[in-house]
Amino acid sequence: MPVFYETEIASPLMLGTALYPSPDVLADAFRRSGAGVATVSLRRESAGGGDFWELIRELDIPVLPNTAGCHSVREAVTTAHMAREVFDTDWIKLEVIGHADTLQPDPFGLVEAARILSEDGFRVFPYTTEDGVLAGKLLDAGCEVLMPWGAPIGTGRGLMNPYGLRTLRAQFPEVPMVVDAGLGLPSHAAQVMEMGFDAVLLNTAVAQAGDPAAMAEGFALALRAGKLAYDADPMEPRDMAQPSTPLMGLAVLE
């Protein structure tokens, strides 16, 4: 199972808690998926009050607060400190958004905020791109986990740059990595695990499905299949056909 900051989680599925049609549906999705981490935002907790926080506690899994919607270093750092007080954890998913339409991370603000928070004792999970140079700077800033995007948040488009993600995985083979954002189908999650990533984080694909609990279970099964495939050392693609039945021993017809 994945290990983040010396903590082993029970599943490679990290599931968000926003957008569900009801608290009961949310709870059912978590039960059927066996998700290993619940991501929460300070804004969501403020809106839901104590009932929401009690529901999250009852899930009995690690909580990963995030700085969703923050567009500046100051805003992200302030939100992280508030989240640590509310959720009683030093884990923080760090988002510093640089573009309002694509929700692409601001690389400069992300590194600065990551350094500040790491020095303040946070265990930072940075939402980043597949850029290897940026990844190296985040590691230098104190991050021990990387969370590259699959596609822009909420698009459900799957992996927009598989080559870039494979390159990033190969560049930092020992760093725990979570593909975060843009996954829409369980097949996308299987593809992530087949590449050797440690986990996925998603929300919209489950919460806005016609049957969120069934979709959550589908993602959990796909993650297991992808991990099994990766561990099995799959064959390399070939350019030419190769028969699976040997030619020796075939009947000779005259």
Which of 32, 44, 84, 93 is labelled catalytic? 93
Ligand-binding site membership of 161 (annotated): no
CA-based end-to-end distance of the chain = 58
Q: Look at the alpha carbons of 16, 18, 20, 24 in this order and tell me if their dihedral is positive or negative.
A: positive
pLDDT score at 187:
97
What is residue 160's predicted lDDT score, i.e. its pLDDT? Answer: 96
Beta strands in 47-110 (DSSP E): 63-66, 91-94
Give 124's contacts (C-beta < 8 A, 6+ positions apart): 92, 94, 114, 117, 118, 142, 143, 145
pLDDT value of residue 1: 86
pTM of the model: 0.89
CATH superfamily of 3-232: Aldolase class I (3.20.20.70)
Residue position matching structure tokens 């529901």: 55
3-state helix, strand, coil in the chain (%, to 5): 45, 15, 40
Q: Residue 126's pLDDT is what?
A: 98
pLDDT of residue 200: 98
Rounded CA separation 226/194 (Å): 5
- The answer to whether 121 is a known ligand-binding residue is no
pLDDT along the chain (254 residues), means of 10: 94 95 94 95 60 84 94 96 93 95 93 98 97 98 98 94 97 97 96 97 96 97 97 90 71 62
C-beta of residue 80 within 8 angstroms of C-beta of residue 67: yes
Q: Is 196 annotated as contributing to ligand binding?
A: no
222 annotated to a ligand binding site = no
Active site residue 93: yes
Amino acid identity for residue 22 in this structure: S
Give the per-residue pLDDT at 123: 98
